[in-house]
Amino acid sequence: MKTFLTVFLTAIIVAIMAIGGTYYFLNQKCARENTVLETQIKASAAKTATADSAETLRKAALESSKTMVSGFLSARQKRNFDFAKPYMTVALQGQYTQDSFAGASSPSMGRFEIIKAEYLTAADLYQVTARVYQNLNGQEIGYTDNIYNLVKEGNQNLINEIKEGVLVAK
């Protein structure tokens, strides 16, 4: 009976150790998998936050670019080169004088509206399209869709190039 009891107790202890060992190693594996998943989730969240942050900055830069073009066009309406300079790169300013900036008095520039703004990744610049209406004797005679390319100069996007569209008669 003593031998049976020894074998029985040994079998129970071995079974308890096997079950306990299995439980321990499975928990360790689950803990490692959880750690890996948590790391992946945190990395994904960080990428999303970075992407969201980059997108937020890009949207802000687009709005800033629209504001720059609007300011430039307002100065153009007033035919005042000095008012337009803060919206232009130094290179673009060099292409104008007060007289060439003011242009002909007839037809004259009327109202304008920003049609679209976009970031051109390949060129690393912002492009704003504005519809500029032309007036003759106080009446709108048509419009041009002009493209304004803005580049980073200092800490802001400034107009570097203007592509004037063809006059579309009303």
Boundaries of every domain in the chain: 59-169
- Positive or negative torsion for Cα 164, 73, 157, 92: positive
DSSP secondary structure letter of residue 88: B
pLDDT score recorded for residue 153: 86
Candidate CATH numbers 3.10.450.50, 3.40.50.2000, 3.40.50.970, 3.40.50.300; the one for domain 59-169: 3.10.450.50
pLDDT score recorded for residue 25: 67
pLDDT score recorded for residue 26: 63
The candidate with the shortest Cα–Cα distance to 76, out of 119, 26, 150, 132, is: 132
Contact 112, 33 (CB under 8 A): no
Predicted structure pTM score: 0.69
DSSP secondary structure letter of residue 124: T
27/103 Cα distance (integer angstroms) = 79
46/137 Cα distance (integer angstroms) = 59
Q: Please give the chain's pLDDT, 170 residues, in tens.
A: 778 778 777 888 887 877 777 767 666 665 666 566 566 656 655 555 565 677 788 888 889 899 999 999 999 999 899 999 999 999 999 999 888 888 777 788 899 999 999 998 877 899 999 999 999 888 999 999 999 999 988 888 999 999 999 999 98
The candidate with the shortest Cα–Cα distance to 70, out of 131, 119, 156, is: 131
pLDDT score recorded for residue 121: 81
Residues 6+ apart with CB under 8 A from 19: none
pLDDT score recorded for residue 33: 62
